[in-house]
Amino acid sequence: MTAPCVRRAVLPAALFATFLALNAWAEGEPETDPESDQEQALFRGMPDDVGRLEVFGFCGSCHSIDLVLQQGLSRAVWEDVLVEMVRDQEMAPLQPDIRVKVLDYLEEYYGPDRKALSPKAK
């Protein structure tokens, strides 16, 4: 006459095992936000900062963004590039606030020291 007792014990044990399995699964989730890796890939490693979206959107629409990201130019030369894009390459002039964001970003990370390549910039 021990059978009913065994059966009563099986269900809670099974539930508890399921709970442990789910708990372990939840804790096994990667610590890092998977979106940030995807973002890094999408943005070609551009450091996440103000102006990234603008540079990516405005400067990657006609040619590869890599054409921009492989440069290391001073702010003055970046300004010349923007002038040249408008004058020779039919780029629409950037709105003043966007232009400043783009130049700030390019100067900060794609200046002669190419800070974007340093791990600290990430």
The alpha carbon dihedral of 73, 77, 79, 80 has a sign of negative
User: Of residues 15, 21, 23, 63, which one binds ligand HEC by CB under 6 A?
Assistant: 63
Q: Work out how close the CB of 78 gets to ligand HEC at its nearest, in angstroms, rounded to a whole number.
A: 7
Q: Which residue has the tokens 């059966």?
A: 7
- The verdict on 116 binding ligand HEC (CB under 6 A) reads no
Contact 92, 61 (CB under 8 A): no
- The verdict on 69 binding ligand HEC (CB under 6 A) reads no
Q: Which residue has the tokens 């442990």?
A: 20
Q: Total number of residues binding ligand HEC (CB under 6 A)?
A: 16
What secondary structure letter does DSSP report for 50?
T
| Residue 53 CB-density burial (10 A; 0-12 exposed, 13-18 middle, 19+ buried) | middle
Q: Work out how close the CB of 75 gets to ligand HEC at its nearest, in angstroms, rounded to a whole number.
A: 12
Residue number with CB closer to ligand HEC (72 or 121): 72
Which residues make up the interface to ligand HEC (CB under 6 A)?
Answer: 58-59, 61-63, 67-68, 71, 81-82, 84-85, 89-91, 102
